[in-house]
């Protein structure tokens, strides 16, 4: 009996020891799995986006100052997109540094150069080249339309005009050109109207009529002058001769059966 109890006791002790070992191993395994789940990969670091570089307009703005032009204007004349990121900021900065800006009053202009008198320094002359851009009162124009005394802003590269912006009073020539385009009358005639020269306007109208009758109907200008001057006796015979001549010409022509435009007139 005692041996049986001892054997049973030994079996219980061994079972308890074995169970304890199993539980301890299970705990170690659970700890290892937890550790693996909570660890962060060493290589997963946050990458911040790169800050965009300065735009072409920003580079120009930092290196060029002018009263009446914007950095966007200068970028356009350098064939650059003002809002695009500068591909070579240092190179562009050096290029812009070569530009010269001048503001003052126009002293003179011709097909080759323009002379500007800055407010506080001596007058300077700059070359006008084929690709020089000239504006007056916000409109593209040529040097002919510049007026002495205009306010001038220049962008100059190596002494040559890149862009010229002029502002000044509206001239009679500006008005004449605008009206001429609107109502199809020659600027010279509009100039005479603006000056009150009705005699000059009348002469222009007569000259236009004479040219029309002469070119379209073959009537001599002297005949038109005679009619307009009231010399009807003189002009009547001449007109009869012209009419008779037209009739004979129409009858003699191969297409006499079809009235021409001249005979209808």
pLDDT digits over 138-154, tens only?
889 999 889 999 999 99
pLDDT at 222: 75
pLDDT at 247: 57
CATH assignment of the domain containing 128: 2.40.50.140
- Domain-located, residue 13: no
pLDDT at 204: 73
Helix H or strand E encompassing 248 = helix 232-252
Query: How many folded domains does the chain comprise?
Result: 2
Residue pointed to by tokens 């509009």: 190
- Of 135, 152, 167, the domain-final residue: 167
How does DSSP classify residue 85? B
pLDDT at 109: 94
pLDDT at 164: 92
Clarify whether residues 74 and 149 are in a common domain: yes
Clarify whether residues 87 and 142 are in a common domain: yes
- Domain-located, residue 35: no
- Domain-located, residue 232: yes
Clarify whether residues 85 and 182 are in a common domain: no
Rounded Cα distance, 112 and 116, in Å: 14
pLDDT at 116: 93
Rounded Cα distance, 165 and 151, in Å: 8
Clarify whether residues 219 and 251 are in a common domain: yes
What tokens does 184 get? 């199809």
- Domain-located, residue 33: no
Clarify whether residues 178 and 208 are in a common domain: yes
pLDDT at 33: 42
pLDDT at 243: 57
pLDDT at 77: 80
138 to 76, 89, 133, 141: CA distances (angstroms): 16, 31, 12, 9
Is 134 strand, coil or helix?
strand
Clarify whether residues 60 and 154 are in a common domain: yes
pLDDT at 74: 85
Structural domain including 131 reads 56-167
**Are residues 29 and 62 in contact, defined by beta-carbon separation less than 8 angstroms?**
no
**Are residues 77 and 163 in contact, defined by beta-carbon separation less than 8 angstroms?**
yes
Q: Which residues of the chain have pLDDT under 70?
A: 1-49, 67, 176, 179-185, 190, 193-196, 198, 201, 209, 213, 216-217, 219, 224, 226-265
Q: How confident is the model over 188-226, as pLDDT tens digits? A: 776 776 666 767 767 777 777 677 767 766 767 777 676
- Of 167, 189, 205, the domain-final residue: 167
pTM strictly above 0.85: no
């Amino acid at each position: 009996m005692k041996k049986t109890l001892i054997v049973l006791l030994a079996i219980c002790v061994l079972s308890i020891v074995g169970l304890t070992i199993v539980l301890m191993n299970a705990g170690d395994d659970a700890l290892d799995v937890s550790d693996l789940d909570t660890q962060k990969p060493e290589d997963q670091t946050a990458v911040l986006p790169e800050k965009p570089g300065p735009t072409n307009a920003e580079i120009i703005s930092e290196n060029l100052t002018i009263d009446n032009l914007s950095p966007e204007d200068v970028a356009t004349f350098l064939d650059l997109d003002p809002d695009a990121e500068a591909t070579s900021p240092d190179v562009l900065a050096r290029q812009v540094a070569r530009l010269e800006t001048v503001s003052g009053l126009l002293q003179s202009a011709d097909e080759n150069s323009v002379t500007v008198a800055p407010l506080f320094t001596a007058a300077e002359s700059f070359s006008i080249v084929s690709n020089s851009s000239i504006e007056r009162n916000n409109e593209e124009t040529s040097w002919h339309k510049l007026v002495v005394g205009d306010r001038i802003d220049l962008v100059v590269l190596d002494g040559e005009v890149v862009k010229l912006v002029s502002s000044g009073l509206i001239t009679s020539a500006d008005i004449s050109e605008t009206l001429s385009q609107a109502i199809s009358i020659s600027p010279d005639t509009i100039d005479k109207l603006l000056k009150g020269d009705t005699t000059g306007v009348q002469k222009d109208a007569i000259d236009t009529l004479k040219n029309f009758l002469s070119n379209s109907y073959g009537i001599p200008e002297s005949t038109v002058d005679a009619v307009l001057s009231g010399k009807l006796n003189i002009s009547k015979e001449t007109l009869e001769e012209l009419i008779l001549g037209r009739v004979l010409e129409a009858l003699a022509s191969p297409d006499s059966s079809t009235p021409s435009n001249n005979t209808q007139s």
